[in-house]
Amino acid sequence: MKLGFLASHGGSNMQAILDGCNDGSIQATPAILICNNRNAQAVERARQAVMSTCILNGKTHPLPVDLDQAILDALQRAGVDLIVLAGFMKKIGPKTMAAFRNRIVNIHPSLLPKYGGQGMYGLRVHKAVLASGESETGATVHLIATAYDDGPVLQQATVPVHPDDTPETLQVRVLAQEHQLYPDTLAKIARGEIELP
Ligand code: GRF
């Protein structure tokens, strides 16, 4: 199974998955990183891992239809079987969505369907969890259907909310859980223990 990563920023989830591929716990081959931001730490991580990288964005392709096609071409040239969204801040275009139907996974830092949807990203998610007085939160790996954070849940993991948590401390604890959950989910997909439709 060849993985194609789409990331915009830090890429710490991508790193956890690269580590799992390296140590054999995920039976998959990292094939390419597509990134919209050439200064992202994810690009440096891909370089260290000797994985090819493509910078594709509104500057390289001003028309959304062309950008969508360029992303699809890069994924197909690299022989990608599964798209792994790892902090990708852009919407996937319709051509790529259609070509990779049920083959796009994402991670979100909450127990979806709670605290998902448009505008729910980064610290905003954890602020909303604290504002609602939740006693637990977590992370969700899911398939991408058509909308933001929408699609069948593959796996979830819970994280306790502490009385003295700030959005920042909660984010750190949830991210640590994401680094377990995402590689574990991909390992199960690769072994056929989680079947994609
Ligand atoms: C994570 O919190 C993930 O749930 C969300 O974006 C963040 C990416 O972090 N989709 P990183 O780039 O993997 O460090």
Kindly state whether residues 153 and 83 are assigned to the same domain. no
Give the pLDDT mean for 6-19. Answer: 97
Interval between CA 11 and ligand 1 midpoint (Å): 7
Task: Judge whether 108 counts as a catalytic residue.
Answer: yes
pLDDT of residue 147: 61
- Record the pTM: 0.96
Kindly state whether residues 157 and 173 are assigned to the same domain. yes
74 near 54, Cβ under 8 Å?
Answer: yes
Kindly state whether residues 87 and 113 are assigned to the same domain. no
For residue 148, what is the domain's CATH number?
3.40.50.170
Kindly state whether residues 81 and 137 are assigned to the same domain. no
Check 61, 108, 126, 162 and give the catalytic one: 108
Q: How many domains does the chain have?
A: 2
Q: Does the Cβ of 9 fall within 6 Å of ligand 1?
A: yes
Kindly state whether residues 92 and 118 are assigned to the same domain. no
Kindly state whether residues 93 and 111 are assigned to the same domain. no
Q: List the beta strands (DSSP E) in the chain.
A: 2-7, 29-35, 52-55, 82-85, 104-108, 136-143, 153-160
Interval between CA 171 and ligand 1 midpoint (Å): 10
Last residue of a domain, one of 100, 127, 151: 100
Kindly state whether residues 37 and 117 are assigned to the same domain. no
Kindly state whether residues 115 and 91 are assigned to the same domain. no
How far apart (Å, rounded) are the C-alpha atoms in residues 107 and 116? Answer: 11
Please give the number of the atom of ligand 1 that sits closest to the Cα of 122. Answer: 2
Kindly state whether residues 122 and 139 are assigned to the same domain. yes
Kindly state whether residues 134 and 93 are assigned to the same domain. no
Last residue of a domain, one of 68, 100, 132: 100
In this predicted model, what pLDDT tens digit does every residue of 75-128 receive, in sequence order? 999 999 999 999 999 989 999 999 999 999 999 999 999 999 888 999 999 999
Using H for helix, E for strand and C for coil, what is the string for 10-57? CCHHHHHHHHHHHCCCCCCEEEEEEECCCCCHHHHHHHHCCCEEEECC
Last residue of a domain, one of 84, 100, 116: 100
Band (41; pLDDT cuts 50, 70, 90): very high
Q: Does the Cβ of 110 fall within 6 Å of ligand 1?
A: no
Q: Does the Cβ of 178 fall within 6 Å of ligand 1?
A: yes
Range(s) of the domain holding residue 23: 1-100
In this predicted model, what pLDDT tens digit does every residue of 141-161 receive, in sequence order? 999 987 666 799 999 999 999
